[in-house]
Structure 1
Amino acid sequence: MRIIVRSKETNLWLPIPLFLANTAVLLLPESVIAEIKKSLPEPYQEVITKKFLQELVRECQSVLKQYKGLEIVHVETQDGTFVSIRL
């Protein structure tokens, strides 16, 4: 995934590998998972676990690889700021 931000002061290009999403889930503390569970309706609270989130990320990674190059966010403002997120 690539995140591109261009403005008058900044020209930022961030390549973010998809495998980092799985690493981020591994590093999530249980307190964060508990907060996520609190924000969900009752029947879904038991479903959300770290293992479930890892499986979800793996499935999303395989789908996202099929759509490599797809631009999911494209914003241009009047002052010339440009933001793009591309898979």
Structure 2
Amino acid sequence: MTLTRELQILNKAGIHARPAAMFVRLASKFQSDIFVAKDGEKVNGKSIMGLLMLAAGPGSRLQLEIVGPDAEKALLEIEALINGRFGEV
């Protein structure tokens, strides 16, 4: 199964080291391949360095592509993490 979704980064600092680590920790729980793209650059969502290279600041729009047997569950949990502002106030 392949699912795609565009999500906006809502936390004030964007994706820096802590949110990137949270994203990768969550993404790594799933069997599915998880890709994140911004402005045409696509990276492995299970790579901290890849996510940081996107330089996704506040308000950035990311395109998620999740391919695999648990894609639906992965999308729901990743969407909740991003929409929850990575736990930042």
Do these two structures clear the TM 0.5 threshold for a shared fold by scoring above it?
A: no
| Higher relative contact order, structure no. (Cα contacts within 8 Å, ≥ 6 residues apart) | 2
More helix, by proportion: 1
Structure number, greater radius of gyration: 1
**How does the TM-score come out when normalised to structure 1?**
0.28
